[in-house]
Amino acid sequence: MQYKPEDGFPYYFELAKGEDLYPLFASPATYDFFKSIDEAKASHRYAPDKWSIKQVIGHITDHEKIKMFRAFQLSRGEQIELWGYDQNLLVNNARFDEVEIEKLITDFSNVRKASLSFIEMLSEAQLQINGSARQHQVTLQEFLRSIIGHERHHVNILKERYL
């Protein structure tokens, strides 16, 4: 089945399906891509009602913060719903456009380092813990992969529509 972005989790799972978890998070590809964007381009929007590049970077980082906390809860046995969140509310109430792109990239890098540290501490048994993501049952490992799938989705949009 071919999933679309509006399908949510299944779409993001597919973008990183079958790849080893640690290398997914350890890859410098997104960081290097962000570093290639200069301050002058960072405020660009491809349409008036769309997020700026800075806002997309901030959103990717916020997404990882939220999802990694939920992954942490699941890994410790808390039976939680791996629910969504209001991405527009979070972006609209952030200061991403006021912050230098370099600081947004540093925040992304710091969050990624914390994610890698967390992933390194997980056992194989923890990675197989099941959780509920809306109507989907997923393992913790699949849920973690979806974080990178989400990132890939937005990086692809940046490359195709912004730059």
Q: List the chain pLDDT tens, one digit each, 163 residues.
A: 687 887 777 788 889 988 899 999 999 999 999 999 999 999 999 999 999 999 999 999 999 999 999 999 999 998 887 778 899 999 999 999 999 999 999 999 999 999 999 999 999 999 999 998 777 888 999 999 999 999 999 999 999 999 8
> Which phi and psi angles does 94 have, rounded to 5°?
-105, 170
Q: Yes or no: is domain 20-36+50-162 CATH 1.20.120.450? A: yes
Q: What is the pTM assigned to this prediction?
A: 0.95
Burial of 146 (0-12, 13-18, 19+ CB in 10 A): buried
Contacts of 21 (CB under 8 A, 6+ apart): 119, 127, 141, 144, 145
Q: List, in sequence order, the alpha helices (H) in the chain.
A: 9-15, 21-26, 29-35, 39-42, 53-75, 87-92, 101-120, 124-127, 140-157
Residue 94 is classified by DSSP as S
Rounded to whole angstroms, the Cα distance separating 81 from 96 reads: 28
Residue with tokens 């390194």, as numbered in its chain: 120
Which sequence spans correspond to the domains of the chain? 20-36+50-162
Measured distance CA(10)–CA(92) in Å, rounded = 26
- 5: nearest Cα among 151, 142, 118: 151
